[in-house]
Amino acid sequence: MSTLFSPFKLRDLTLPNRIVIAPMCQYSAEDGRATEWHMIHLGNMALSGAAMLVIEATAVEAIGRITPGDLGLYNDATEAALKPVLAAIRKHSNIAVAMQIAHAGRKASSHAPWDGGQQVPLDKGGWVAQAPSAIPQKPGELAPQEIDVAGLKRIRDAFVATAKRAKRLGIDALEIHGAHGYLLHEFLSPISNQRTDNYGGSLENRIRFPLEVFDAVRAAFPAHKPVGVRVSASDWVEGGWDIEQTIVFANELKKRGVDWMDVSSGGVSPQQKITLGPGYQVPFAEAVKAATGLPTIAVGLITDAQQAEDIVASGKADLVAIARGILYDPRWPWHAAAHLGGQVQAPPQYWRSQPSTQKALFGETTFGGR
């Protein structure tokens, strides 16, 4: 039996396979509100046969958006806009729907990637970002405002409010975004966090605010539903955040009941030097799993079915997250199941697409009609 197509349990949520659709920013919201694009995009992903769909990084407050087009869940309008999208998914798919909740920190107020991705000037509709320290992401950019104690409380409360909105929407799981150079990663990394108070300096201090956010979100979200954390295991910069510190952080999260660690890397500094290659981040997930015993998700250039199978079958990670690969091939799990002898869930409208050589791909299916 294929390990990739075996079930995996996270609290009361049982996933039918080990394939996760990674959160992928679409930069297509309007004032934080989901649009027709989200209906099409997320609906398409929901029919993929993956076990869990993680909605893109969803801002907990408006100034925490990476771009003006970022999805948000921070007021009644953003909550209402997601309702029909989720209703359509629930009607036609059994996929578990998670949401990555996030704050962009100093990387906020940027153009969408297809518009260059650079910081938006204040006179062009941009805003002053907020961060652990008043250090810009890139030389020449407008420096962010250092977050004071009142600001920390506001942001922590914003994460809680978003978690409560996600609960009302019936979201199955949450992932707190602590990676890719955004706010919580900025607190973790000594590159971006040069505070002199209780939230900066030592490792104990730098992990303090992300742990407070986790505690607050975990308390606000139903106890039977899982909450995971995404981390960058390395800044890929000498003297920055690294795998050893990641393991310390993960062990602290374990004490607090974290349900998974989604292990990525990079994003906090343009000086990063990343060695790319197939599955290049898998060793980070493997190290976190070995040191903590926590369920881990491996990400990064996982494109081949046998590669994904080998990762989970060898115990390097418990799940794999597919991003660009599933945008290119929205039926990636179907094709992986055909290759590995697994089964996927598919809507009955698509059952007739099952190849004659793969009669068990969708399980037992029957066709009537004339």
As annotated, the active-site residues are: 182
Count the neighbouring beta carbons within 10 Å of the beta carbon of residue 94. 11
Task: For residue 170, give the nearest of 92, 84, 103 by alpha carbon.
Answer: 84
Q: What is the token pair recorded at 15?
A: 């996933």
Q: Is 75:32 a contact under the CB 8 Å cutoff?
A: yes
Distances (CA, A) of 218 to 161, 162, 173: 12, 12, 11
